[in-house]
């Protein structure tokens, strides 16, 4: 039987987040410059998005560019931004055809002008699609997002709009850039590294973590299916005991 048919539809994670890592090492292993790895990574973005939508996952978040990635060589940063614009332009038809909504989290106002423009256009064009939401984390880092939420709440307190002692978890959640998006239940990272790298630190409090020993350009639908099957075989206790979970 194929892997897909082993997935239990009643225990599907509604939100999967992916740290797409290993493009540079994949390119090096194939004797090419790093940018070749990023270009090939786009095929994996397509595979992951298609597989998630076909199975019925409602949210897929991809870590495409972190606030720390600006520190990479200028040539690589420019190539990543160009690739992003090209991909947004090329994929919009597929997003529409597959009824997929695009959203972005991160400091997107500070992306290069054309990148920001194409991103907003794609978000606007797909805003009424309902099958799945594809969230791109762009110029994103969890510490940036948490600091922004803290500043927002501090200002609201200073302006007398909120009483500091009354601040609830929901107030904080609503000040994050993931506002309205449920927390991911499954976080996948490729490339064999077991790190979170400043990604969704608040939101993954109870996510199951899956570290795959392949580079991102080698990621195919079967890797997503396998990660979901592994997720479904884990016992998620949320701080309780195993016995308390028995029906
Ligand atoms: C990590 O590999 C990958 C990135 C920082 C960029 C991810 C971008 C893409 C897959 C292409 C475009 C994406 C979209 C959504 C259009 P790395 O460069 O850190 O690899 P390394 O760890 O081997 O150096």
What percent of the chain shows pLDDT beyond 90? 94
Ligand 1 near 87 CB (within 6 A): yes
Ligand 1 near 64 CB (within 6 A): yes
Indicate the top mutation candidate among 64, 80, 105 to test ligand 1's pocket, ranked by most ligand atoms within 8 A of CB. Answer: 64
**Predicted pLDDT of residue 91:** 95
All residues at 6 or more sequence positions from 221 whose CB lies less than 8 Å from its CB, including other chains: 4, 47, 48, 50, 51
User: Which CATH number is correct for 13-141+184-233, 3.40.50.720, 3.30.40.10, 3.30.750.24, 3.40.1180.10?
Assistant: 3.40.1180.10
Query: How far from each other are the two terminal CA atoms of the chain, in whole angstroms?
Result: 30
* 1 has a pLDDT exceeding 70: no
How far is ligand 1, taken at its centre, from the CA of residue 244, in Å? 42
Residue spans of the domains in the chain: they are: 13-141+184-233
Which residues are catalytically annotated?
A: 21, 69
Ligand 1 near 57 CB (within 6 A): no
At 89-112, the pLDDT tens digits run 999 999 999 999 999 999 999 999
* 130 has a pLDDT exceeding 70: yes
How far is ligand 1, taken at its centre, from the CA of residue 80, in Å? 8
* 247 has a pLDDT exceeding 80: no
Ligand 1 near 25 CB (within 6 A): yes
Name the pTM for this structure.
0.95
How far is ligand 1, taken at its centre, from the CA of residue 21, in Å? 6
Lookup: tokens for 162 = 């909120």
CA distance 95 to 102: 8
8 A C-beta contact, residue 111 and residue 139: yes
Sign of CA dihedral 24, 30, 36, 38: negative
Ligand 1 near 21 CB (within 6 A): yes
**Predicted pLDDT of residue 18:** 98
At 186-215, the pLDDT tens digits run 999 999 999 999 999 999 999 999 999 999
């Amino acid at each position: 039987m194929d892997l897909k048919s082993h997935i239990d539809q009643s225990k599907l994670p509604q939100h999967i987040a992916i740290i797409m890592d290993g493009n540079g090492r994949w390119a090096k292993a194939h004797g090419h410059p790093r940018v070749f790895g990023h270009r090939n990574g786009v095929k994996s973005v397509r595979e992951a998005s298609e597989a998630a939508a076909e199975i019925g996952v409602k949210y897929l978040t991809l870590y495409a560019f972190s606030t720390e990635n600006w520190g990479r060589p200028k040539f690589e940063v420019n190539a990543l931004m160009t690739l992003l614009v090209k991909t947004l332009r090329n994929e919009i038809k597929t997003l529409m055809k597959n009824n997929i909504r695009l959203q972005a989290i991160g400091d997107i106002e500070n992306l290069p002008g054309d990148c920001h423009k194409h991103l907003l256009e794609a978000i606007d064009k797909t805003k009424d699609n309902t099958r799945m939401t594809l969230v791109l984390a762009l110029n994103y880092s969890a510490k940036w997002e948490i600091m922004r939420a803290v500043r927002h709440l501090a200002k609201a307190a200073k302006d007398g709009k909120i009483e500091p002692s009354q601040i609830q978890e929901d107030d904080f959640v609503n000040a994050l850039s993931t506002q309205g998006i449920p927390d991911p239940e499954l976080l996948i990272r490729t490339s064999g590294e077991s790190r979170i790298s400043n990604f969704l630190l608040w939101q993954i409090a109870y996510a199951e973590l899956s570290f795959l020993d392949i580079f991102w350009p080698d990621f195919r639908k079967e890797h997503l299916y396998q990660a979901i099957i592994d997720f479904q075989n884990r016992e998620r206790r949320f701080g309780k005991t195993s016995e308390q979970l028995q029906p």
